[in-house]
């Protein structure tokens, strides 16, 4: 077989077509490593010069459409596949299975914690995601009807209050019949207040139900992740679970040795907790890895005389890969995950004090 230097591939996730160096392609997994930078010029330069892929680059499932001797030829074929339904490879026409291809853009990244929080339920560019969460209370048709009823009740209440004020004004024509009429209006106002309170209570119940649905949805996402990665066999995780949570330096050193053999399994196990965004997913991973008593003695880079967590390279990389196991944070950048891990370590002492306070309060009760 000829040794071609560039490949023209179609990405399974969004059906986009791209020319990539053959050294970016993993023949075992049929996946292509792709840089995380958003700079299109840098990406094109990396493809053209066939730079060695970094271990931190994410990988994507692809199908090979064509093989080429040089970048110019691969680039032309990729452009032809983007603008038509086939790509020519050594005189043959290879049909594109999509029919709706587009130029591949760099994978989207979470720019900040605020953005990831606000985008946690949005689609991330055509990739498969969990089921769409239920409608918010404020957006549902039922909620809109409830709001209209509440506004109507408030308006009627204000109207009746104005009427009562005018009735209470002393006049020469006030009579027992007028007093009876005022009592009738006050009774109607009390009834409207009761209805308003009932509607408000109903709205609170709906909000609680939605929170429960969200929890169930998160559990379903976890089960989907289990099925997708085929990791139901608990025996695979037995050796890993025996170490967690880590409580001593010696355990951490031994855990580093275990990761030489079971890094992928450990990442899958720690990623099962999931999370709505990078901060939550990182917190769930760190909570499983370290006890608060142990983590309070660490900072990410060893600041203020503490031990440096990043010096334990396999464990530090495990945190990043475990967060990316979650569907909602699969495209999280290393810098965002590290920032969340730093915050968790800083708060270790505070969490420990709260636990001790709760123990004392429970003992007094």
268 in any annotated domain: yes
Q: Is-cis flag, bond preceding 60, omega within 30?
A: no
pLDDT of 70 reads: 92
Pick from 81, 101, 135: which residue ends a domain?
81
d(CA 323, CA 271): 6
Are 209 and 265 in the same domain?
no
Residue 129 lies in a domain: no
Residue 145, pLDDT score: 47
Residues 360 and 254 in one domain: yes
How does residue 343 score in pLDDT terms, banded at 50, 70 and 90?
Answer: very high
How many domains does one find in the chain? 3
Same domain, 322 and 349: yes
In a shared domain, residues 201 and 262: no
Locate 344 and state its tokens.
């968790």
Domain presence at residue 107? no
Residue with tokens 């203020």: 304
Q: What is the DSSP string of 214-232?
A: HHHHHHHHHHHHHHHHT--
CA nearest to 259, candidates 295, 312, 338: 312
Residues 357 and 259 in one domain: yes
CB 293 within 8 A of CB 349: no
Residue 303 per-residue DSSP state:
G
Task: Give the end of a domain, one of 28, 46, 81.
Answer: 81
Provide the mean pLDDT of the chain. Answer: 75
Alpha-helical regions (H) of 248-324 = 249-271, 278-289, 292-295, 313-324
Alpha-carbon separation of residue 165 from 41, 45, 168, 191 (angstroms) = 73, 78, 5, 19
Residue 208 has pLDDT above 50, yes or no: yes
Whether residue 226 contacts residue 272, with contact meaning beta carbons closer than 8 Å, is answered with yes
Shared domain check, 226 and 266: no
Q: Which helix (H) or strand (E) holds 364?
A: helix 348-364
For residue 61, tell me if it sits in a domain: yes
pLDDT at residue 137 is higher than 50 = no
| Residue 97: pLDDT over 50 | no
220: in domain: yes
Residue whose entry in the numeric block shows the structure tokens 């450990």: 266
* Alpha-carbon gap, residue 350 to 335, rounded angstroms: 24
- Position 237 scores a pLDDT of 79
Q: Are 340 and 284 in contact (CB under 8 A)?
A: no
pTM higher than 0.85 for the full model?
Answer: no
The pLDDT, as a whole number, for residue 282 is 93
Out of 180-184, 208-212, 259-263, which region has the weakest mean confidence (pLDDT)?
180-184
Q: What value does the mean pLDDT take over residues 95-99?
A: 41
- Kindly state whether residues 222 and 313 are assigned to the same domain: no
Q: Which of 169, 195, 230 is the last residue of a domain?
A: 230
Percent of the chain with pLDDT over 90: 35
Going by C-alpha positions, the residue among 99, 110, 111, 105 that lies closest to residue 125 is 105
Residue 160 falls inside a structural domain: no
Interval 319-336: pLDDT, tens: 999 999 988 898 999 999
* Residue 210 covered by a domain: yes
- Cα–Cα–Cα angle for 194, 196, 197, rounded to 5 degrees: 65
Q: Are both 195 and 299 inside the same structural domain?
A: no
Instruction: Looking at the structure, tell me whether residues 264 and 309 fall in a common domain.
Output: yes
Residue 172 falls inside a structural domain: no
Q: How many residues does the chain have?
A: 365
Residues 225 and 290 in one domain: no
Reply yes or no on whether the pLDDT at 132 is more than 60: no
Mean pLDDT within 164-182: 54
Which residue range(s) make up the domain with 215?
186-230
Lowest mean pLDDT across 65-69, 189-193, 246-250 = 189-193
- What pLDDT does residue 147 have? 52
On the 0-12 / 13-18 / 19+ scale of CB atoms within 10 A, 268 is buried
């Amino acid at each position: 077989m000829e040794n071609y230097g560039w490949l023209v591939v179609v990405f399974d996730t969004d059906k986009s077509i791209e020319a990539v160096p053959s050294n970016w392609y993993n023949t075992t997994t049929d996946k292509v490593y792709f840089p995380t930078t958003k700079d299109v010029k840098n990406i094109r330069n990396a493809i053209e010069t066939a730079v060695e892929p970094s271990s931190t680059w994410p990988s994507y499932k692809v199908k090979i459409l064509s093989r080429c001797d040089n970048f110019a030829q691969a680039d032309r074929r990729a452009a032809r596949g983007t603008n038509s339904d086939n790509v020519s490879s050594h005189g043959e026409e290879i049909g594109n299975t999509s029919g709706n291809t587009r130029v591949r853009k760099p994978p989207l990244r979470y720019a900040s914690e605020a953005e990831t929080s606000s985008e946690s339920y949005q689609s991330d560019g055509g990739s498969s995601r969990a089921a769409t969460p239920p409608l918010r209370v404020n957006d549902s048709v039922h909620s809109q009807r409830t709001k209209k009823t509440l506004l109507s009740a408030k308006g009627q209440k204000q109207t009746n209050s104005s009427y009562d004020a005018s009735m209470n004004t002393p006049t020469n024509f006030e009579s027992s019949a007028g007093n009876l009429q005022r009592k009738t209006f006050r009774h109607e106002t009390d009834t409207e207040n009761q209805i308003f309170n009932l509607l408000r209570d109903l709205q609170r119940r709906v909000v609680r139900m939605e929170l429960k649905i969200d929890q169930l949805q998160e559990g379903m996402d976890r089960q989907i992740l289990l099925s997708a990665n085929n990791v139901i066999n608990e025996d695979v995780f037995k050796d890993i679970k025996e170490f967690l949570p880590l409580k001593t330096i010696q355990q951490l050193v031994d855990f580093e040795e275990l990761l030489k053999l079971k890094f992928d399994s450990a990442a899958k196990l720690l990623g099962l907790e999931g999370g709505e965004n990078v901060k939550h997913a990182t917190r769930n991973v760190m909570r499983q890895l370290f006890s608060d008593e142990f983590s309070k003695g660490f900072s990410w880079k060893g600041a203020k005389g503490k031990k440096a967590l990043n010096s334990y390279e396999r464990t530090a990389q495990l945190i990043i890969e475990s967060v990316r196991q979650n569907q909602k944070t699969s495209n999280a950048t290393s810098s965002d995950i590290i920032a969340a891990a730093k915050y968790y370590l800083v708060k270790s002492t505070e969490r420990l004090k709260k636990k001790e306070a709760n123990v004392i309060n429970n003992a007094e009760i």
